[in-house]
Structure 1
Amino acid sequence: MKFTILRLLTHSELGMFHEYRRQGKERAKQRAINFDWDVVDAVFPSAKDSDIIAINCRRLEDENTVVEVASWLKRQHRNWRFEGDCPTSPHYSFVDPNVLFAMIVDASTTPATASWVVIPADHPAHAAILGHGESARLGKSAMIALYGNEGEHSQGVLATHFPQLFKEVETVSVTLQQEYDSSSDDDDVPPDPLGLFKILARAGHNLPSAVADLVDNSLSHGAREICITFPNPNAGGRWMCIRDDGAGMTPLGLRNAMKIGHQRDYDDADLGKFGYGLKGAAWSQADRLTVVSKAAGDKVTTLTWDKDHLAKTRRWALLTDPVASAHASSVEIGDSGTAVLLTQMRPAMEPTKGKADSPYAQELAAIKSHLELVFHRYLEGKARGREKVVIRLNNDTLRANNPMGHPLTKEYDQHRIELPSPTTDKTPALYVRAYVTPNEAEFDEYVKPLTPLEQRVERERHSLNGRANDAQGLYFYRLDRLIKWGGWEDLFAKDEHTKLIRVAIDFDRLADEQLQVDISKQLVRLPFAIIKPLEDLIKTPRAAARLRYNKKEKGTPTSADGGKTGSPAGKPATDGGLPPASVSGGATVGGASPTPTPKKDKTSVRIVSSGTKPWQRKTGFKGEEVEVTPLVPALVALVQLIDKDADAKTALSEFLRVLETAGVPDLLTDKA
């Protein structure tokens, strides 16, 4: 497991270099470089059970001399520090804030082995690495780790400028390339297997979207039950299996399905598109793809694409090896069905959010919420021409999350917009229906009978696990499968006062070309010719959304039909709904000016990513604020539960103040 680690060093981390201290630049006594916890978790999966990780490091003593120093990563709360080496050589007199720390580490050995270098801002390697897309995540994270070929550019730059430390990037030898090229006739130029693998592996998938694309394949084969197994990577490695009870495939059918870009006749309700989804989704996450399939009355067939085998043979050669015993039970199918097994999966490269949950738990949650949303019609049994589908993730049955399904949501009539088409036999069309969801006061009143935890879960589901303002806009459904949502595609700007409106746009395969559905089936483009008709259809519901949003300031929550909201056990809103009236900013509602909400003197309590104490009290221009750090997870969980309750936050602040007088924060810090 080889990773490329990048970090721009700050003042506090440069104390490890003797020359920096000798020049009087040091601002802190720290003698180590910080390693972010999510990077360490990705590079060293067993780190959660350790406090020290040994690394034998190679670095420069001067421009040409390489030394090897036994170093280590040491846990400090949730983050880590790189310790054991303080270079004293005058070679490091250039170190200043924003030097680039670059390390290539092989974590497959114990101790791990690594080479590292610090690169000044005026060095060409500094600009070459930071000017490439590989470094993009440094804008969001202080440190990033690139796995394997994901750091290929940075590895090449390091090998070019610091050859004494870094070997050449592992590429196919020139001899192998020449042999491969000469094996084909002049007019027969097949694609390079390894090169095409790398291209397809970068086609825009993250883990949740890749899993959704694999579920598409199961649905296209008539599956009614889909089981996804994704065990903890810290126990047995990182692998995944998606198994279904669909029609399965014959040996020839499976061989064709494994072919890149295989063209076939798609049924009208087939979610496939380019003959790419199975391979591209799998390869975006793993270096080895195995598919086990069986059609009714036929034999079981097993075929595998393996990146290492492609690189070794330089041929599109499928493997027929049986599945390893560790995964055999996960690929067992009944009378018919298919199991897609991903092994040699690459570590997660998405930065983790917060520290309350482990990276694995966050990945599971992301997959779950994504599938519950994009396949909600299938899970509800509302997909046209389909039976209800059951999807399980690690034996947890998924629950549909319909973004327009809240009982208090106002539903508008559906409209049809025809798309320009060069043919006349079948006219592609969009089916547009607008919805206005409940405002915050209505929603809070509706969930009041639930427990605080249940309220938080329902709020997260309703906001699609983000901010409600980002959930407004267009929701594109291709064959009842949600492929893109949120935002207005430049029709309108996002507006706090219209955040309650969501517009479903349904289309089928006929509209793929006009909407330019991309290869990952996640992006669409609206043709210019339909922008004006679409704007006209949405104007009235947008006005109603403004009206409903403004009603929250009057202090009397109302449902879609104008009456008072009920509880979850009450009746859903009728279609009588809100009057389609236009409301401009500052306009009155129902003839009366909205009553402004008086400001209350309340203490803010929020969660921060780091700190030396479980909580810290600060006073700024906004008043008093309590910052809760990850040192006490139970306290973090409590703050999350009361996130929307200002009175509860104030009460918690006063309770913490009592604990402060007793010195409890210091006691907890010592224990941590």
Structure 2
Amino acid sequence: MKKRYTPPLAPTLLEAMRAIGYSFETALADIVDNSIAAAATRVDVMFSAASAAYVAISDNGTGMDAEQVFAAMRHGSRNPQQERHSDDLGRFGLGLKTASLSQCRRMTVVSLSQGQITGAAWDLDDCADWMLLELDSQDIDAVPHVVALQKQKSGTLVVWRNLDRALAGESNSENALMGLMDRARDHLALVFHRFLQGTSPALKITINGLPVRALDPFLMNAKGRQTLPPEMLQVEHDAVRVEAHILPHVSKLSTQEIALAGGEEGLRRNQGFYVYRNRRLITWGTWFRLAKQEEMTKLARVMVDIPNSLDHLWSLDVKKSAAHPPEKVRQGLSRIVERIADRSRRVYTFRGNRGWDTDLVPAWKRLELRDRNVRYEVNRQHDLFGALRKEVPEHAAPLLERFVQMIEESFPFDSVYADMASDRRTAPLDKADEVEDRLLEIAGHLLAVLASSPEARNAMLERLHLLEPFNKHPEMTTKIKEKLR
């Protein structure tokens, strides 16, 4: 048996690799990954749609010397099986080249390190026998934005020119490139939101000088957002961290918060797991077939943090835009996914309430039956119901019970589900002053029943904020407590 050396034809393979599946925004994000791996705190994306259109990505990272530049420009420069630094965002040693050449025919890298500047380029029209173009000083001086790079202590500049695939089929390159950048801005804002919101130090990304604002899918600053305690899933010798968040109902969100969550349509589409690899978002808006996407679970978001040491188990693709959990992780996720989904449903069932607050006295009770169906009953342990029952003559008690049963059996579930799923806001029954008067009247009735026991009356006042409907109006309830003490 003989061995035959059969290297791939450079022009053919490079053209084929352009069809690996990068979109403009995922390609741009791949370049930003390299900047983050180089400890950059600032990444500037610049573009021009003039006759010689280009896209340039510049950072203030550690930069590369000549040897490192040429190694970085080699296809498959790193073995994905090799152990890497825990903060490394790379994997296959292909991202810089495949991402860039998926959008353009000529990609240039210029890097500054320890006062030395090095440049190299891949040109698909001049790449026979894998010949990399090494730039001389005159070539480097002609690269867009290189002057700004030279004024830094260190950093790297990547330039895409001859944007044949990025602008394919477009008659107006300026409008087309503007549209691509608009989508890229949203993509970068989401994928790197934890870096943009960070403090050690925070990453800053700009596009033609305008900052990219973090797009936080968990609405960390929104009032009424609920967070479950994090769980750790052991896989081999590492751990996967899982933390579930339940967004407030859309009726509780401001217009700005709804926009941050991706709009009302985005609320439906973006429920599910958000998988991060070293804080970089990889994939989102999926339950990995562990649950169905439902209207009533669309407020559930689950943050899953995986270390790069488990890449081989997550089927991570070259574009770092898709990942599938291994069986051991799926088993762990499936144990908590139903509980997470149930919390999301409760936000609709009890708007504004913490569905797992054991101290709350709700007006309705949710019962899970043996056949896995559910039933809602009026809470007969509610203090207001108890006060009413004491006022009703004994002979009329059965009639009161029949009336309550009628309410339970005729509850319009279908209509309520349709209204909640469509995000319609509940119209207030009364104006604010009328609501306060009504609550004051209800509180008066509750305390009147306990008039003979000062201790019981004071205890009722102390826990008034835990009763529905008082819990939905905390400020009014505080005022009512002061009036009735």
Pair in the same fold by TM > 0.5: yes
Equivalent residue for 1:439, pick from 249, 264, 268: 249
| 1:240–1:341 CA contact under 8 A, matched in 2 | yes
Query: What's the counterpart of residue 510 of structure 1?
Result: 309
Deviation at 1:516, TM superposition (A): 1.5
| 2:346–2:355 CA contact under 8 A, matched in 1 | no
| 1:193–1:314 CA contact under 8 A, matched in 2 | yes
Query: What's the counterpart of residue 253 of structure 1?
Result: 68
Query: What's the counterpart of residue 77 of structure 2?
Result: 262
Tell me whether 1:558 sits opposite 2:375 in the alignment: no
Query: What's the counterpart of residue 289 of structure 1?
Result: 107
Distance, in Å, in 2 between the alignment partners of 1:441 and 1:465 is: 11
- In the alignment, residue 248 of structure 1 is paired with which amino acid? G
Query: What's the counterpart of residue 344 of structure 1?
Result: 162
Deviation at 1:559, TM superposition (A): 6.0
Distance, in Å, in 1 between the alignment partners of 2:107 and 2:169 is: 25
Distance, in Å, in 1 between the alignment partners of 2:367 and 2:68 is: 56
CA deviation profile, 1:88-126 (whole Å, cap 9, x unmatched):
xxxxxxxxxxxxxxxxxxxxxxxxxxxxxxxxxxxxxxx
> Over the residues paired in the alignment, what is the CA RMSD in angstroms?
3.5
| 2:251–2:424 CA contact under 8 A, matched in 1 | no
- In the alignment, residue 514 of structure 1 is paired with which amino acid? L
Query: What's the counterpart of residue 30 of structure 2?
Result: 213
CA deviation profile, 1:282-332 (whole Å, cap 9, x unmatched):
01111101000011x24101111100001xx34433242514747245763
Equivalent residue for 2:135, pick from 310, 320, 327: 320
Query: What's the counterpart of residue 282 of structure 2?
Result: 483
Equivalent residue for 1:410, pick from 222, 226, 244: 226
Normalising by the residue count of structure 1, what TM-score does the alignment of the two structures yield?
0.51
Classify 1:404/1:544 alpha carbon distance in 2 versus 1 (closer, same or farther; 3 Å): same
- In the alignment, residue 540 of structure 1 is paired with which amino acid? R
Classify 1:585/1:366 alpha carbon distance in 2 versus 1 (closer, same or farther; 3 Å): farther
Specify which structure has the bigger relative contact order, considering alpha-carbon pairs within 8 angstroms and separated by 6 or more residues: 2
Tell me whether 1:229 sits opposite 2:46 in the alignment: yes
Query: What's the counterpart of residue 495 of structure 1?
Result: 294
- In the alignment, residue 210 of structure 1 is paired with which amino acid? A
Classify 1:320/1:359 alpha carbon distance in 2 versus 1 (closer, same or farther; 3 Å): closer
Tell me whether 1:371 sits opposite 2:209 in the alignment: no
- How many residues align? The count is 373
| 2:282–2:320 CA contact under 8 A, matched in 1 | yes
| 2:190–2:215 CA contact under 8 A, matched in 1 | yes
Classify 1:221/1:585 alpha carbon distance in 2 versus 1 (closer, same or farther; 3 Å): farther
CA deviation profile, 1:159-206 (whole Å, cap 9, x unmatched):
xxxxxxxxxxxxxxxxxxxxxxxxxx9743322111221232122210
Equivalent residue for 2:18, pick from 201, 205, 211: 201
Structure 1 segment 620-639 matched on structure 2, within 5 A: none
Deviation at 1:561, TM superposition (A): 8.2
Distance, in Å, in 2 between the alignment partners of 1:644 and 1:238 is: 46
Structure 1 segment 3-402 matched on structure 2, within 5 A: 187-231=4-48, 233=49, 235-263=50-78, 266-295=84-113, 297-310=114-127, 313-321=128-136, 322-323=139-140, 325=142, 327-329=144-146, 332-333=149-150, 334-348=152-166, 358-381=175-198, 386-402=200-216
Query: What's the counterpart of residue 175 of structure 1?
Result: none
- In the alignment, residue 296 of structure 2 is paired with which amino acid? H
| 1:241–1:331 CA contact under 8 A, matched in 2 | no
Task: Tell me the secondary structure at the aligned position of residue 505 of structure 1.
Answer: strand
Distance, in Å, in 2 between the alignment partners of 1:289 and 1:588 is: 63
Distance, in Å, in 2 between the alignment partners of 1:589 and 1:435 is: 28
Distance, in Å, in 2 between the alignment partners of 1:585 and 1:536 is: 19
Query: What's the counterpart of residue 453 of structure 2?
Result: none
CA deviation profile, 1:60-83 (whole Å, cap 9, x unmatched):
xxxxxxxxxxxxxxxxxxxxxxxx
Gaps of 5+ in 1: 1-184, 422-426, 448-454, 552-556, 564-575, 601-642, 648-672
Distance, in Å, in 2 between the alignment partners of 1:359 and 1:212 is: 19
Gaps of 5+ in 2: 380-407, 428-485
- In the alignment, residue 238 of structure 1 is paired with which amino acid? A
Task: Tell me the secondary structure at the aligned position of residue 516 of structure 1.
Answer: coil
Classify 1:326/1:273 alpha carbon distance in 2 versus 1 (closer, same or farther; 3 Å): closer
Query: What's the counterpart of residue 455 of structure 2?
Result: none
Distance, in Å, in 1 between the alignment partners of 2:263 and 2:95 is: 25
Distance, in Å, in 2 between the alignment partners of 1:358 and 1:210 is: 19
Distance, in Å, in 1 between the alignment partners of 2:219 and 2:272 is: 15
Distance, in Å, in 1 between the alignment partners of 2:119 and 2:87 is: 27
| 1:224–1:388 CA contact under 8 A, matched in 2 | yes
| 1:305–1:319 CA contact under 8 A, matched in 2 | no
Query: What's the counterpart of residue 633 of structure 1?
Result: none
Distance, in Å, in 1 between the alignment partners of 2:175 and 2:197 is: 30
Deviation at 1:594, TM superposition (A): 6.4
| 1:410–1:437 CA contact under 8 A, matched in 2 | yes
Classify 1:242/1:326 alpha carbon distance in 2 versus 1 (closer, same or farther; 3 Å): closer
Distance, in Å, in 1 between the alignment partners of 2:86 and 2:367 is: 40
Distance, in Å, in 1 between the alignment partners of 2:109 and 2:264 is: 33
Deviation at 1:346, TM superposition (A): 2.1
Task: Tell me the secondary structure at the aligned position of residue 184 of structure 2.
Answer: helix
Structure 1 segment 444-483 matched on structure 2, within 5 A: 447=254, 455=255, 458-463=257-262, 466-483=265-282
Classify 1:503/1:599 alpha carbon distance in 2 versus 1 (closer, same or farther; 3 Å): closer
| 2:57–2:157 CA contact under 8 A, matched in 1 | yes
Task: Tell me the secondary structure at the aligned position of residue 219 of structure 2.
Answer: coil
